[in-house]
Structure 1
């Protein structure tokens, strides 16, 4: 492992001589955060667990039955196990003993091949060597082959200390020293390290409770393993000691984690699957060769439902916690939702017309421990918080789905009753969720209307549901008066705006929020703005822009669409934004022959542009139909009476709406920036270049 650094101020004098190469453990000391995350208490705790995890890996392979962890009064930490012991013979290629190799070389250890560990927690091969590099002193003792072999290190350099502690005189030296004899069958490893004060912050410390929690957790995950914790740091007090051993495994862990009364017994799901993976492997010549390897993944899951509402799900890979989940947890969630939905419909607890239950519904009151074991899992980062092995999702989903379905369809009386109770609990959770959502929508509408923060001119509708509700953003107070009489008050709400709103493409967020009209629109829709916009919180199913049919009306629509596109884009993407299409002219016919009972509106023809008016008049003239002169031209929506506005623009049975959608996001963003942005020159060129190509019939005027 190498790292390149450079520190030069003059670009003209920057050459290869300014580059420095950090070899081996130098890179760790230079950039410790890359390996342990931080140099505070969290990073120090991480170092301790890198050493403990090596002992845990021995326990996973059934080579170790006891691990002792001691927090010493001088700030050092020691970890001892009764495993096989780190190899003490010489490694052929490097000539170093196994102890010195794993303690001084990054990416060296027994977890990269196929013979030492089938499952491991320390997977990056940098654990012990990184801790060594960041320690002022590290002592290793290994019991093997009838002797105790010892070696010490100072900041990653092997040698001998003349006394106790990191301040003792140090002499660099390579090779192990046999310090005493032991029984030939006695094996194990003991490591003690003193964190380097040059690296770690002065206040860095290991919290006892954190250590106890994880030690307990690890003992749950490896049945039969004893983990003893001893804390000698209390001044003048006896050392604190506690041991953990659980033979019941994760089934016992699930019961321990459960906070409520059980609805079901603990269900244990176990199985395994195989998958192929292409990995680089060192050949005999030291070259990395891509090789297809068959992997085995073991799955062990314990779960139970309780009477409460909280969800507790813990996931692990080779006993290493994955607090942010990963592919194994994705597979678990997928199987849980799929199988329970199928069974709810099979038992008629969920009708075919009902929406499927969600992940949150299935996991209400659930306590689960999801563990997988596999060689060389792919983690996202050294801290191993997320599993990235893609095959884990498929295998876990298949095994979980099979066992859960068998349990839910069991014909045994006790299991059948508890499975029914679980299904009813999930169905009840789904009904409660839908009822709560409906109540929130109703309350949100009610609270918004009662709030003085909302515009006083908002004329809301009575409907509580979002599916059919519509918000008309109306141009002008005069149009509002007519629209009040023309609307269906059950589901059509009105919000008037004064003229042309702020062009938000040219303005900052602060300026947009200061603008009364823009702020009113955001408040009435009630779903936030920008990144925080939540389309599910919108108070209306549709937003309809209703402006005059002239050029000014078109400009107002453009300004409103700019606001929606920039700050409420999900509404556009969901197809919930429309433009009303009001007429520009009304032609009153004078000599038409109307049948008895014909509707009054048959006397009128509405046109929507000057070009359409001219074509319509020519057609009437050819047909010998006369009309009243002059043809009425609407100067605005306020000139229309309520019947005319309802008939032409607002009544869903007769109106025409144009749905505004964003089909190509990048192109739309470019057009908005071109037409509404700060740069004038590109807009002028666009208008000049396109003027000759414009179809006059398409002008919205």
Structure 2
């Protein structure tokens, strides 16, 4: 920066926005946007304050009036905003919450157990962006009134926002409450269109939906919408005593029949999170208690509707409670499917979240103190601990529903629908991928030794690089031909770390691997063109097998590295031993090391069981029969595989060069220096 440029930028160029001025300068930061959604958000902030009174049990009726002059009025019969003088600021409670950001009764925990508005910004932001903001509080037997213009307190000398305004601080007592009149707060505001985009306006249908949704969530409160139409007032009432059950009924498509009744799931749980105390000091692992309420049902259609709410606030983008719900329904449904005879065929994939949600209508509502959102508009809940809370509550209820004899038949009908949805999804995906694979392979002759899988999804397809023809026989019988392909390798492939590119591509085994994968090599390797979602190296569990795996990993690391970087290269882990017990109910346990086998035998003998001796040891994959190979090495549900990773490319390159490169002396020196690390008992001799 030049001296002249420095002299042009000084302390006077810094801007300090005080009070509500920041809201007027950057309204989108506080209300999400400056289009019609922002205007509707103003309304939501005001009505949510009244709703908090209803949730706390202090309000039973909330009336919203949309006046002909564009103003919005919200009346409730709650306790009324506190009118006393706040000791620290010297302002009345009303002026404090409407003119100061981050002020209100929702920080200390004594005002509200749970609340939708937690930032203390809502009402003051509405005030800042309004030509006129009138508030009337009925409390302590008196009627208190106060007005504001763009957040500044004062007095209007007539009706409407164009009346003469005189700035003046202080809450005024304008009368006494009538006999039998309930306490409460009445708010009326005229938003200033200058802070919003041209054409932006309050969406009446959005207001209606907001009131209807909140009435479902707070069944103890009646909401009334009054709208001025041609010098008359039309009135709609929203009151739903059955709460979320009524909401699911309302949201369910009219053209589909229910497959199940509406499940109402309620419960609570605790979680811990870091939080600041009343002095602003961060406390670790503060215990919170959350209440969960979920209603759901399945219909015959294909549409899915899942609405999420936190403390009555709609979370358009879901969040951590939706994540916990998804995990719970998938896990509990799949457990029920696996326990129900005749639903899933052998080797058939379990349903996914897409299958479970098909035809489902659900409402998720959580109540928790001090929730965290991704933004002021509260579109997405980010409180981490709520995920496990809702997951536990939903899992327990669905498990009980599927096992209860009174609902077991209904549950089985739903499970069958979900399994059918899974099969349809997979069939459609297979048809699409079949066309893709056919296009990719037209004119390309595959090696005759390839045992390919049938047309199926690329992401699901697996290619096993199998050591030897003997293992191929068992693997051919064990595999699922729908998505598991086999390519046998004869002997050890070329060490590509020592060989040139020309010699590498001349090698028949390597050429077969490259051709079958169909994505090229080196810099031109095209990962999306690869024909299989996973490549699994399946070699014997001996020294030769380890050498073959090492050579193959070296090949992928040097010429097809994206396969490793994308996490799609795996090494199978076949067992070394088969421990079998004698008796009526023989038990079979596969072990992977000599030490594991010996400890397993000791444990079983200590339990009083007899072992078939000598313990069989597999010298190679070819010694296993098809069932053993499937169960231990090829079945995605029971097998163990190691993902080959490349966390540090530079270190990996150095290791490959040291262990597999042309220079013998560095490798010999490393072996000698590292000899102390060898576990003599683990040597497979």
Q: Above 0.5 in TM-score?
A: yes
Q: What is the Cα deviation at residue 152 of structure 1?
A: 0.6
Aligned residue pairs, count: 531
Q: What is the Cα deviation at residue 386 of structure 1?
A: 1.7
Aligned match for 2:236, one of 235, 238, 242: 242
Aligned match for 2:164, one of 169, 176, 184: 169
Match of 2:394 in 1: 400
Q: 2:357 matched to 1:363?
A: yes
Q: What is the Cα deviation at residue 447 of structure 1?
A: 4.6
Match of 2:620 in 1: none
CA contact (8 A) 2:75 2:186 kept: yes
Q: CA–CA distance in 2 between the matches of 1:214 and 1:237? A: 25
Match of 1:25 in 2: 20
Q: 2:57 matched to 1:74?
A: no
Tell me the SS of whatever aligns to 1:42: helix
Q: CA–CA distance in 2 between the matches of 1:216 and 1:180? A: 34
Q: What is the Cα deviation at residue 385 of structure 1?
A: 1.6
Which shifted more, 66-75 or 347-356? 347-356
CA contact (8 A) 1:266 1:304 kept: yes
Q: CA–CA distance in 1 between the matches of 2:556 and 2:289? A: 58
Q: CA–CA distance in 2 between the matches of 1:144 and 1:434? A: 63
Q: What is the Cα deviation at residue 398 of structure 1?
A: 1.4
Q: What is the Cα deviation at residue 664 of structure 1?
A: 2.3
Render the CA deviation track for 1:7-33: whole Å, top value 9, x for unaligned.
Answer: x99235434343222122121112211
Q: TM-score, normalised by structure 1?
A: 0.67
Q: What is the Cα deviation at residue 171 of structure 1?
A: 0.9
> How do 1:37-116 residues align onto structure 2 when only pairs under 5 Å count?
37-116=32-111
Tell me the SS of whatever aligns to 2:317: coil
Match of 1:584 in 2: none
Match of 1:551 in 2: none
Tell me the SS of whatever aligns to 2:134: strand
Q: 1:457 to 1:425 in 2, by over 3 A?
A: closer
Q: 2:298 matched to 1:308?
A: no
> How do 1:418-457 residues align onto structure 2 when only pairs under 5 Å count?
418-448=410-440
Q: CA–CA distance in 2 between the matches of 1:668 and 1:661? A: 14
Aligned match for 1:264, one of 253, 260, 266: 260
Q: 1:200 to 1:458 in 2, by over 3 A?
A: farther
Q: 1:213 to 1:564 in 2, by over 3 A?
A: farther
CA contact (8 A) 1:69 1:79 kept: yes
CA contact (8 A) 2:273 2:287 kept: yes
Tell me the SS of whatever aligns to 1:211: helix
Match of 1:329 in 2: 322
Q: CA–CA distance in 1 between the matches of 2:653 and 2:165? A: 67
Aligned match for 1:282, one of 263, 278, 288: 278
> How do 1:340-359 residues align onto structure 2 when only pairs under 5 Å count?
340-348=333-341, 349-350=343-344, 353-359=347-353
Q: 1:664 to 1:290 in 2, by over 3 A?
A: closer
CA contact (8 A) 1:543 1:576 kept: yes
Match of 1:609 in 2: none
Q: What is the Cα deviation at residue 158 of structure 1?
A: 0.5
Q: 1:309 to 1:21 in 2, by over 3 A?
A: same
CA contact (8 A) 1:281 1:291 kept: no
Q: 2:112 matched to 1:152?
A: no
CA contact (8 A) 2:274 2:282 kept: no
Q: 1:281 to 1:482 in 2, by over 3 A?
A: closer
Match of 2:373 in 1: 379
Q: CA–CA distance in 1 between the matches of 2:653 and 2:323? A: 37
Q: What is the Cα deviation at residue 104 of structure 1?
A: 0.6
Aligned match for 1:464, one of 442, 454, 457: 454
CA contact (8 A) 1:24 1:105 kept: yes
Match of 2:200 in 1: 204
CA contact (8 A) 1:142 1:189 kept: yes
Render the CA deviation track for 1:185-243: whole Å, top value 9, x for unaligned.
Answer: 521111111112332223110111111112111111111322122333x5x47544322
Tell me the SS of whatever aligns to 2:211: helix
CA contact (8 A) 1:136 1:195 kept: yes
Match of 2:209 in 1: 213
Match of 1:695 in 2: 663
Q: CA–CA distance in 2 between the matches of 1:197 and 1:670? A: 63
Q: CA–CA distance in 1 between the matches of 2:418 and 2:51? A: 38
Q: What is the Cα deviation at residue 436 of structure 1?
A: 2.8
Tell me the SS of whatever aligns to 1:74: coil
Q: TM-score, normalised by structure 2?
A: 0.69
Render the CA deviation track for 1:527-585: whole Å, top value 9, x for unaligned.
Answer: 37xxxxxx7xx4676699xxxxxxxxxxxxx99989965xx6677531289xxxxxxxx
CA contact (8 A) 1:65 1:226 kept: yes
> How do 1:505-524 residues align onto structure 2 when only pairs under 5 Å count?
522=526
Tell me the SS of whatever aligns to 2:306: strand
Please report the RMSD computed on the Cα atoms of aligned residues, expressed in angstroms.
4.0
Q: CA–CA distance in 1 between the matches of 2:206 and 2:42? A: 14
Higher Rg of the two aligned structures: 1
Tell me the SS of whatever aligns to 1:23: coil
Tell me the SS of whatever aligns to 1:175: coil
Which shifted more, 106-115 or 436-445? 436-445
